[in-house]
Amino acid sequence: MCGIAGIYRINTSVALNEIDNLTNYLTHRGPDGRGIWFNERQHLALGHRRLSILDLSEAGKQPMQCENGKFVITLNGEIYNFIEVRDELKTLGYKFNSETDTEVILRAYEAWGSQMLNKFNGMWALAIYDVDNNKLILSRDRFGIKPLYYFWDGEELVFASEVQALHKHLGERVSINKKTIEAILNFDHSYHGTAQTYLNEVKSLPAGTNFLLVNNKVSIERWYQLKKQKVPKTLKAQAQELKILLADACKVRLRSDVPVGTCLSGGIDSGTISSLISTFKADENQRFSNFTHRSFCAGFPGISFDETQDARRLAKQLDINLDVEIVGPPSEERLERALAQTDGPMPAFAFFPIWQLYGYIKSQNITVTLDGQGADEMLGGYYLGYNAMKGALQKGALLWLLDVKNTYSKLHPKASSWVRGHYNHLLKQAWSDIKQILKWPIKKVITYMGLRHFQANNLLVFNNLEPNSFEEALYQQFFSSPLPFLLHQYDRASMANGIECRMPFMDYRVVEYIFSLPSESKVGGGYTKLVLREAVKGILPDETRLNTLKTGFNAPTTEWFQTDLKDWFLKQINSSEFLNNPYFDGKALNKEFTKKLDSADADTYKWKFWAYIHVSHWLKTISN
């Protein structure tokens, strides 16, 4: 896990200070070392900031060049199955000089070219240069867990792990993407699942995609498509196979030469990871002897979404150590320091407590964590009652329709009255729509339920997935929004503190398996994540396993803005940057926010409070 950068020019050379500066903008991502490499003509320069995880010696230094000098790599991420791939390469006669996954990638490229990517189980953003053929390949992992951004104008390619690094390097050559800023202000973070960034001229390399620069010509190719897997027919058998896959996903993510911990919120996702790991024993041969089960949780005393009590109870039941980092209102200085590392404006204030938690974890000498991202988006963990009911009708599964209606109507019993009202409204709307459909002529209803004409999502059809409204919503959540935004948030918060965040639910074997399951295995019987709850029966205590309350990770934005951060809040909305902002009517919002801040319904405004303030604050910092 590191920060990578590079500059390629067709007609002119790259100066040392240029690649030096670009690489050093990423220092927080790799505090353990740095490296620079130039090709012979010096029209290509690669940079690397190292966070040492595997083989802490100088043998793991990057950029890394193979012994024959033909290939060189700069890598951000980890290939968890590097031991198995290395063993396969050894049978082909390849020898190794280090204990790194980086060298395995180099040898794999030498053996199989870009087809090697299909053998890898991991997360990565990488650049490999073929010296003899003047070929540069940039590649991103299947689901875009690790970031990679680039600028290409036909004469020059510049790439890096963060947009803000490219922004500092390119200066006035780039401009703000107005559409992206407008999306952030409207709490729409779906652009994270596209090539768009907050700069018009800087693009995000899409997940599962390669960028090729061969003899000065560029092409972008998708190397990965979601693959449908054969799954058992019964829920019990499906759950058993899922448990085996998840256990192995956790095992390979414990491979490390530095200490590893887990994040534990007290919910089913992180609880699944912790409960599975609790059954493991340290294994020197598998490279996870550095793991001692120590878990970490963010605490918010007195706040409705505080999960400390649940996390403590579960840690005690699993007999694991738990550290609770109490997150209170930050000082202005600390908040400003965190905001400097968001890599653009964030639509939610949740970034700060995540940033603080990872900072605490690093202070405890933990460099790698296992986290639970990805499960909600695949298994209906968010509120999808409307989509599930429509999907059930489209499937012709009327019994499941009633099942999901009852399941989602019982969720969120402790949610605010506004949230409950919103969810109930969606359920009533879905039920009303369905009753209208059932009044259609019988042939039309049968056609609708038969799915032969249904175009939920061309990608669902392309990937041979079941095309119904529920599956479409899951697919969009995973590949478009909110997961790509959450990956961005967790990457920046963890890497700002020199922490590598690993996600077992994002193992491609797990993802493909879950997306191949029937909808009825995901939601039903009163539960979301149904097959997961069945998979951890007897491992995860039922008090956690069967808990249906969904508590999202957030920051107490309203409470802090009404108390300790009130002066900072008022200073922001009274600043000239806010009042005269080119992207919104700052004067009108100033009056609105001043009126709403201390009102009874202030909490419904918290997203708006934060998004507008952060955009204004961010624009001020980048102009200085």
Query: Residue 303, CB half-sphere, CA atoms under 13 Å: how many?
Result: 23
User: Which of 618, 202, 225 shows the shortest CA–CA distance to 460?
Assistant: 225
Q: Which two structure tokens, joined as six digits, stand for 26? A: 């990423």
- Work out the angle between the directed axes of helices 586-596 and 606-623 (0-180°, nearest 10): 140
Residue 272: name the closest of 588, 90, 540, 578 by CA.
540
The single-letter DSSP state of residue 503 is: -
Strand 500-502: give its sheet, edge to edge.
321-326, 291-299, 260-263, 368-370, 500-502
Q: How far apart are CA 613 and CA 345, in angstroms?
A: 9
DSSP category for residue 103: H
Closest CA to 582 of 175, 274, 99: 175
Q: Could you identify the residue written with the tokens 């890394």? A: 64
Please state, as a whole number, how many other Cβ atoms lie within 10 Å of the Cβ of residue 600.
7
Q: Give 257-271 as a DSSP string.
A: SS-EEEE--SSHHHH
Phi then psi for 432, rounded to 5 degrees? -65, -45
Kindly state the tokens that stand for 105: 């990638």
Q: How far apart are CA 113 and CA 502, in angstroms?
A: 26
132 belongs to an annotated ligand binding site: no
Out of 2, 250, 263, 297, the active site residue is: 2
Judge contact between 348 and 607, C-beta under 8 A.
Answer: yes
- Listing DSSP states for 142-203 in one string gives TT--S--EEEE-SSEEEEES-HHHHHHHHGGG--B-HHHHHHHHTT--GGGGSS--SBTTEE
Going from the C-alpha of 624 to that of each of 1, 168, 554, the distances in angstroms are: 30, 11, 30
CB neighbour burial string for 36-47, b if at least 16 within 10 angstroms, e if fewer? bbbbeeebbbbb
Could you give the CA distance from residue 452 to residue 446 in angstroms, rounded to a whole number? 10
Please confirm whether the linkage preceding 63 is cis (ω < 30° from 0): yes
> Which residues, in sequence order, are CB contacts of 48 under 8 Å at separation 6+?
2, 3, 4, 5, 23, 30, 34, 35, 36, 62, 63, 74, 75
The answer to whether residue 2 is catalytic is yes
If you ran DSSP here, which 8-state letter would residue 31 be given? Answer: B
Cβ–Cβ < 8 Å for 99, 52: no
Distance spanning both ends of the chain, measured CA to CA = 30
Nearest to 120 by CA among 82, 72, 87: 82
**Cβ atoms 289, 262 nearer than 8 A:** no
Neighbouring CB atoms inside 10 A of 332's CB total 12
Bind-site residues: 101
Bind-site residues for L-glutamine: 101
Query: Which sequence positions are flagged as catalytic?
Result: 2
